[in-house]
A and B are shown apart, each in its own frame.
Chain A
Amino acid sequence: MRALSLCRLALVACALGVGCTAEPADLPPPPHAADSRPGFVYASADRPLAFPGDYGPHPEYQTEWWYYTGNLRTADQRRFAYQLTFFRRSLVAPAERVERTAELASADIYMGHFALIDVAAAEHRLFERFSRGGGALAGARSRPHAVWLDDWKVSADGAARVLSAADDDVALQLTLLPTLGPILHGEGGYSRKGADPRQASHYYTFPRLDTRGTVEIGGSSHAVSGSSWMDHEFTSSGLGDEQIGWDWFSLQLSDGSALMLFHLRTRDGGIDAYSSGTWIGADGSQRHLKRDDFAIAVDGHWTSPHTGARYPAVWRIEIPSVGLTLDARPFVADQEVVASFVYWEGAVEVTGSSAGGPVEGVGFVELTGYASSMKGAF
């Protein structure tokens, strides 16, 4: 989900200098005031998701992203994790666009984040890119599905997705085969983020993709396999006034189930009522989790030497309704993404119990709104 990635794209805009100067916690303005840009469509419960059409881009929504994360291992159990994310932001709604003859004309900006985590070396390598959508330098399409930015790309190969990205001495070439999904969050993919019904996104997930391929780092190449998670979300609104950031979890458990949870943190230190989650059974069944259906307790913190931000680092998650108690901790403490905006996006390992039996797993956690040192940086 990364509902709150809304804010992130607002920040992307910030990074690009698109009309904002506030610090992350102040962003974005509430939906009703949110956008001076007219013509964008807001997420709505009345809009069902349909595939494969909705795998592609939605220029009528202001922001959109395709988000791939995964935990991988070599044959000798050496752990890697990766993140490959494509963000799209519309500068002008389709209805408002003027006819342009230039092939390079573009009303979309794309941003990419590519990270490879080498657990054994406790190394987190991150790359960031921007591009215009024009001239097909970056873009997305539904049939056959593809998303790309320069030579970072995701393309469809039948039901499989092929990911490739490289920069410097880090590269990734993976084939992802979904075993579950797409799972639609909220009400048929309409995922609420606030009191205003427009403060929402369309959000679906492939919670478990069998992954094979190679990763390269420091000049050596490793054959890897493992499991990936994919989110695709589009919206035209951002964080509410009182919302300052989020803690987001995507976990894959050994019993075949999966879990997506997010806490929206409020300015007064509380948890927003529209925080939610989805429990996904091994058979693909799903259960929507409301704010009160789960608890996330923080048992430890890590302070970034880069930004001075203090992030939660150990969590205990309890979901009584499905009998789950989980402890999550990062494979590597420093998985902070220091890019045009700062957040923490890291691979975690999970242990705990499910309906009395032991369970373990892996996943990703995203923490935003902690790097107050960002204040005034833009």
Chain B
Amino acid sequence: MLRQIAANRSQTLLMVAGVALGVAVVVAVDIANDSASRAFQLSTEAIAGRATHEISGGPTGVPVEVYRQLRRSGRRDAAPVIQRLVVVEGQPLTLLGIDPFADAQFRGYTAVAAAAASLDALLTVPGAAILAAATADSLGLAVGDDFEVVVGGISKRLVLVDLAEAADARTERAVRGILLTDIASAQELTGRPQRVDRIDLILDDAAAAQLAGETLGRGLRLDPVGTASGPAREMIDAFRTNLLALSLLALIVGLFLIFNTMTFSVVRRRAGIGTLRALGMTAREVFRQICIEASAIGLVGTGLGLLLGVALGRGAVDLVLTTINDIFFPLTFRDDSLPLLSLAKGAALGVGATVVAALPAAREAAASAPRSAMMRSSAEHSATRLVAAASRIALLLLLGGLVLFALPTRSLVVGFAGLFAATLGIAFLTPLATQGLMSALIAPLRSLAGSLGAAAPRDVSRSLSRTATAVAALMLAISVAIGLQLMIGSFRSTVAVWLERTLTGDVYISAPSVGGTAATDPLAPGVRPALEQLAGVRSVDFVRSTTVRTDLGPIRVAASSRPVYRGQRLYHSLAVPVIELSAALRAGAVLASEPLMNRLGIEVGSLIAIDGRDGPHRAEVVGIYYDYASSQGTLMLDMDFYQRLSGDTQITGAALHLEDPGAAAEMSLQVARALAPQQALDVRPNRALRAEVFAVFDQAFAITGALVILATLVAALGVLSALLAVQLERGRDFGILRAVGLTARQSARQVVGETMLLGAAAGLLAIPTGTALAYLLIHVINKRAFGWTLQMTFDTEPYLSAMGLALGSALLAALLPARRIAARSPVELLR
């Protein structure tokens, strides 16, 4: 029967392409996800090493005295660490300042540094640094070279004293993102000569409890390793779940295609199968034959899909890593090794799914009795049966989706499961809906194009058993396009409104952030007075962005010199009137952003114990405000209060309110130039900052768009495949029409017209589906994944472009069948 494959080359090619694309998308996303996961793991674990706990001291770091006391009291499983994101030649690296004498038991690879011939230089030459050989190579540096490093916008010079040669591949990857220096050099680079960022420890729980009790306090904190990156990890996981769900969508669309084509291939060969059955082939043998065919197609398609997936994966890795870097967590590590597991998963999924999708067809073929298999099936009958069966499944899926959404959980996976169920449910309603739509179209089309016009929707209905799956797949892909576009559009407009209200300054100043991550590098001490003395400035607001320790874990704070301005911020809920907010914050109350509320489950009136230099301060949450700057959530404090609480007087950002807002651009240039000798700063006019926010925003959704396009492509292949099938079946009809005088061109037009009806059906059905999808994405998925409330806005653009996509892909799919119909002579068609 393998000859059957050869006989229907175009059908087979389409099936192979469908499997290949589906597998490719899943594999590409999986590779990207896996790479993101490993990058994150490397970025956190490579640096944490074997440490179990860490002592940290909030934004001001840990005094050396604390470390000295640990060592002098005999605790030798402790190592001081300074860790910063820095930039060398535009490349972000993690500056890791360590003590070579204490570090070997924590990070094996730093022993490489300690054993280097250059240990004395590392210790005695200020700014002596070690890089991985590959990193030095990519930066064009050789041992002995000095080079510039930008630490928090301030340029420093380092000298490369040695290259780290890693012992194994994993170490090599870990070391690649690291700029290793002695702890003393790192103290000097970060401008905090008496402090380190943290002390890593190897402790069992008892020792940890004891240590926490005896030596800490005074704003210091002992936490298990990973506490700091925990929230970021959650966010990245949510992001990855989103991508995974989208990639599965592409596969599902691919499966529809396989199911469709296999089923049709069986139907078409009924006569042959019937004959074979009559000649003595058993049902089991028929079943096996079909499964073997499907496996062959699955294998070839999967093989191609893996190749394509790896190629696509390379691009996807970039997109995903950049997004994570920009939004969630600075990644300076990268592991480009090919994840064999991803390939294995893709292979299993591809072959398995193909066979599963072919099972109904195989069962149908095997179940047909020898005689009835030889008879022509009644198209109308099977169409009616299909509509009824599909509608029953649709009902079940929709009910399942409802139940999943009703579950009292914040689980993203459950949310996606509900979304899938609901979407598939609607997809299964496609035959019914298409039928209804076509009936409604008969009369208008008759008056428009006569009998042939009336025939078109009837033909579509009649061929539903062949085309419904394709229409459903196309509908699915297009509704996802609508849903995502609406969601992204709503997101964008929500952010735009929020920016409008939040970015009230005319010029914004911050230290350059590495890889777009929120700036927490302080402004140089001289910046503040310089800004306050600027002419043409009405007022200056300052902010300190950093992370503080609380009883609820580390939380990002923004301590603002003017946390409440003109009551413009959008509040979710408030405990006091807006006019009393400023006073409340000055007295030590705090505002929490909406994502923080969702993440920590806090509300207005909750108390958060924030670590201060004299112990924890129990701050009351007096308001929840909408904020889209961070999906981890932010705590807003009054700056004066924060400084008293923490002793941290550094600032990380400033906003200038100008006397003449129109002069923002010139003022930005002027400020940047004036401050350049002190610190290279990002000085941006309001408008540029806003543009940057949107650039990052759009970039974050770039991969989403790519996935939707791929899914639509798969769906268009499905339509093409279905049409080729239908065309084979309807050749006779066209033969008759040609015999009674329909020209070749007219028959081509008829094919195109009927296909456009299919496309229009998919597009029209996708409108309500896509809208529902957008609603679910916005109110369930986004909320669960990121904690953001978005205002749903409706734009005609997504609908129009979706309709265009539907018709366009239908047109594309119709071209080949139309040409084939036109090219064949009437007598060939009649045969």
Contacts and interface: CB of A to CB of B under 8 A. Distances in A.
A135 B123 contact: no
B126 A98 contact: yes
A37 to B, nearest CB: 9
B101 interface: yes
A151 B114 contact: no
Contacts of A137: 67-68, 71-72
Nearest to A111: B101
Interface string A84-111: 0000000110000110111111110100
B101 A132 contact: yes
A19, A97, A98, A135 pick with most chain B CB within 10 angstroms: A135
Contact of A17 (B67, B114, B194): B114
Q: Give the size category of A's interface with B.
A: 20 to 34
Contact of B80 (A97, A101, A104): A104
B79 to A, nearest CB: 11
Contact of B72 (A13, A106, A130, A148): A148
Nearest to B188: A102
Given A103-B194, A130-B101, A91 B187 contact: no
Contacts of A377: none
A100 B72 contact: no
A148 to B, nearest CB: 7
Contacts of B452: none
Interface string A1-27: 000000000000100111100000000
Contacts of B184: 100, 102-106, 134
Judged by DSSP, the binding face of A is: loop
Given A17-B119, A19-B120, A102 B185 contact: yes
A107 B128 CA distance: 13
Contacts of A166: 74
A151 B126 contact: no
Contacts of A91: 120, 123-124
Interface string B50-94: 000000000000001001100111101000100000000000000
Interface string A334-363: 000000000000000000000000000000
B193 interface: yes
A151 B73 CA distance: 6
B541 interface: no
Interface string A144-188: 000010110000000000000010000000000000000000000
Given A103-B64, A109-B123, A17 B188 contact: no
B73 A17 contact: no
A19 B117 contact: yes
B373 to A, nearest CB: 81
A297 interface: no
B119 A104 contact: no
Contacts of B115: 17
Nearest to B195: A103
A19 B67 CA distance: 29
B342 to A, nearest CB: 40
A304 interface: no
B124 A16 contact: no
B179 interface: no
A279 to B, nearest CB: 40
A137 B13 CA distance: 72
Nearest to A166: B74
B60 to A, nearest CB: 15
Contacts of B185: 102
Given A148-B72, A150-B74, A104 B120 contact: no
A136 interface: yes
A131 interface: yes
A104 B76 contact: no
11 contacts: A17-B116, A17-B119, A19-B120, A91-B123, A103-B64, A104-B80, A104-B99, A131-B101, A135-B64, A137-B72, A166-B74
Interface of B: 64, 67-68, 71-74, 76, 80, 99, 101-102, 114-120, 123-124, 126, 182-185, 187-188, 193-194, 196
Interface of A: 13, 16-19, 91-92, 97-98, 100-107, 109, 129-132, 134-137, 148, 150-151, 166
Given A16-B119, A103-B64, 15 more contacts: A16-B120, A18-B119, A92-B120, A101-B193, A102-B185, A102-B187, A103-B187, A103-B193, A104-B64, A104-B99, A104-B184, A109-B101, A130-B101, A132-B123, A151-B71
